[in-house]
């Protein structure tokens, strides 16, 4: 207990230092809550400028940590690619993706001038027919994949060149999709209610993630329903709709948190290393082991146990969320309150 407290004090000191000297890239103080609304609730102007802002990242040169990246979009995808093994199948799954959403939001605002509200994909609204969603209109995200490679051929992203492949090297490819309304059923209200009924985060996170094998849950739903790049655990942030799907999932987690506050501002747990025996994680493990690009890689060995600062195998509030230096590391504690300084948002 004493050593835990010491650790907590150190963490508070370090975190206070970060926020005492804010730079343009740092989280500032939350003075005005930003709104996140369903995609179809954005104004037409917000929709087109949101798409334009993502295109701006795709057309801006890389300034990230990996010299193989060509664009800002590659930079943004990289922290997910390189940490696939340690941000899925673990307790940090939801907090990491919560921070990644915020990083995307800051990039389009800081570097591409987006000033509108942030959208999420209201997946229940589209559950009867994925393809009918307003998202896929020609002027927005473009439609389903076609041809042998499933490349999309409509919309502003039809010429998007994606670069990362699963082993962390570069091989140029298109944005592919393969719509499936059947897969979207995993986000149905019964499944959401089931997750909401679970009392402790240690049990609940897995419900949203989608069962011990990464299937049959609200998280798997959006990924599998869009398919193609979105269906790939490592590469999914290559599809710009990834951020709308994960905002939906993040909204579900926040709604669960709000059912028991303040307790759920601090309710954290789950394994720190991907669940043993999880077939999806066996795949992540191979990816991690095949990548040899320095210490950021999430592996399985004992050397990774304390890589995120948890001081053990269980995910704690001290766990560092790393986004390849696009923005500073924060801890899980920093993102637990959606209204806190880092995220500073609310879902409507």
Ligand X SMILES: *[C@@H]1O[C@H](CO)[C@@H](O)[C@H](O)[C@H]1NC(C)=O
In the complex, the smallest distance separating the C-beta of residue 293 from ligand X, rounded to whole angstroms, is 11
Q: What character string, x for contact with ligand X (CB under 6 A) and - otherwise, covers 214-253? A: ----------------------------------------
- The answer to the question of residue 129 lying near ligand X (CB under 6 A) is no
Does residue 159 interact with ligand X by CB under 6 A?
Answer: yes
Encoded tokens for 229: 């790049």
Asked whether the beta carbons of 64 and 324 are under 8 A apart, the reply is yes
**Cβ nearer to ligand X, comparing 194 with 304:** 304
State whether residue 163 is helix, strand or coil: strand
Q: Rule CB under 6 A: choose which of 15, 60, 167, 181 binds ligand X.
A: 167
Report the distance separating Cα 335 and Cα 346, nearest Å: 13
To the nearest whole angstrom, how small is the minimum distance from the Cβ of residue 11 to ligand X?
13
Q: Which is nearer to ligand X, 104 or 319 (CB)?
A: 319
| Pick 53 or 186: Cβ nearer ligand X | 53
Q: Residue 154 and residue 136: Cα distance in Å, rounded?
A: 9
169 lies in the binding site for ligand X (CB under 6 A): yes
The HSE-up count of residue 249 (CA atoms within 13 Å, CB side) is: 31
Pair 155, 142: CB distance under 8 Å: yes
Residues 294-333 that bind ligand X (CB under 6 A): 295-296, 302, 305, 307-308, 313, 320, 322, 329
Length of the chain counted residue by residue: 348
End-to-end C-alpha distance for the chain, whole angstroms: 40
In which element (H, E) is residue 195 found?
A: helix 189-196
CA R_g for the chain: 19
Considering the complex, state which of residue 266 and residue 313 has its C-beta at the smaller distance from ligand X: 313
Take residue 175 and report the two structure tokens written for it.
Answer: 């944005």
Provide the β-strand partners of residue 35: 346
Contact 50, 108 (CB under 8 A): yes
Question: Is residue 156 a contact point for ligand X (CB under 6 A)?
Answer: yes
Question: Rounded to the nearest whole angstrom, what is the least distance from the CB of residue 185 to ligand X in the complex?
Answer: 23
* Nearest-approach distance from CB 305 to ligand X, in angstroms: 5
Q: Which is nearer to ligand X, 112 or 273 (CB)?
A: 273
* Residue 170 engages ligand X in binding (rule: CB under 6 A): no
> Site for ligand X (CB under 6 A): which residue of 15, 41, 188, 194?
41
H or E segment and range at residue 170: strand 170-173
Residue 68 binding ligand X, by CB under 6 A: no
- CA 207 to chain centroid, in Å, comes to 17
Between 217 and 238, CB nearer to ligand X: 238
H or E segment and range at residue 200: none
Tell me whether residue 96 or residue 264 sits nearer to ligand X (CB atom): 96
In the complex, what is the shortest distance from the CB of residue 10 to ligand X, in angstroms, rounded to a whole number? 14
Residues with Cβ within 8 Å of 263's Cβ and at least 6 positions away in sequence, in order, are none
Q: Is 37 in the site for ligand X (CB under 6 A)?
A: yes
Pick 115 or 295: Cβ nearer ligand X: 295
**328 vs 106: CA distance, rounded Å:** 12
Binding residues for ligand X, rule: CB under 6 A, are 37-38, 41, 156, 158-159, 165, 167, 169, 171, 273, 290, 295-296, 302, 305, 307-308, 313, 320, 322, 329, 348
């Amino acid at each position: 207990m004493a050593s835990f407290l010491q650790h907590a004090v150190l963490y508070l000191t370090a975190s206070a230092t970060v926020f005492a000297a804010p730079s343009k890239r740092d989280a500032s103080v939350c003075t005005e809550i930003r709104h996140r609304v369903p995609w179809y609730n954005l104004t037409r102007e917000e929709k087109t400028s949101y798409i334009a802002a993502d295109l701006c990242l795709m057309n801006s040169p890389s300034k990230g940590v990996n010299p193989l990246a060509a664009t800002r979009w590659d930079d943004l995808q990289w922290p997910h690619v390189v940490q696939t093994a340690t941000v899925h199948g673990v307790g940090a799954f939801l907090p990491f993706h919560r921070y990644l959403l915020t990083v995307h939001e800051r990039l389009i605002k800081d570097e591409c001038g987006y000033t509108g509200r942030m959208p999420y994909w209201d997946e229940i609204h589209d559950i009867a027919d994925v393809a009918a969603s307003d998202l896929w209109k020609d002027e927005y995200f473009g439609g389903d994949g076609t041809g042998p490679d499933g490349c999309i051929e409509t919309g502003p992203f039809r010429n998007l060149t994606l670069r990362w492949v699963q082993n962390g090297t570069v091989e140029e490819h298109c944005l592919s999709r393969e719509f499936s309304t059947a897969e979207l059923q995993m986000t149905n209200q019964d499944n959401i209610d089931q997750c909401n009924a679970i009392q402790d985060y240690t049990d609940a996170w897995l419900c949203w993630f989608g069962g011990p094998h990464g299937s049959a849950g609200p998280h798997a739903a959006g990924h599998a329903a869009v398919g193609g790049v979105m269906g790939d655990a490592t590469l999914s942030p290559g599809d710009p709709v990834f951020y709308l799907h994960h905002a939906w999932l993040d909204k579900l987690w926040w709604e669960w948190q709000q059912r028991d506050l303040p307790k759920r501002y601090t309710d954290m747990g789950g394994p720190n290393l991907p669940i043993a025996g999880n077939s999806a994680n066996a795949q992540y493990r191979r990816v991690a082991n095949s990548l040899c690009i320095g210490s950021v890689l999430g592996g399985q060995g004992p050397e990774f146990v304390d890589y995120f600062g948890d001081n053990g195998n269980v995910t704690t509030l001290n766990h560092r969320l790393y986004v390849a230096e696009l923005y500073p590391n924060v801890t899980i504690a920093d993102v637990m309150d959606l209204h806190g300084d880092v995220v500073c948002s609310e879902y409507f």
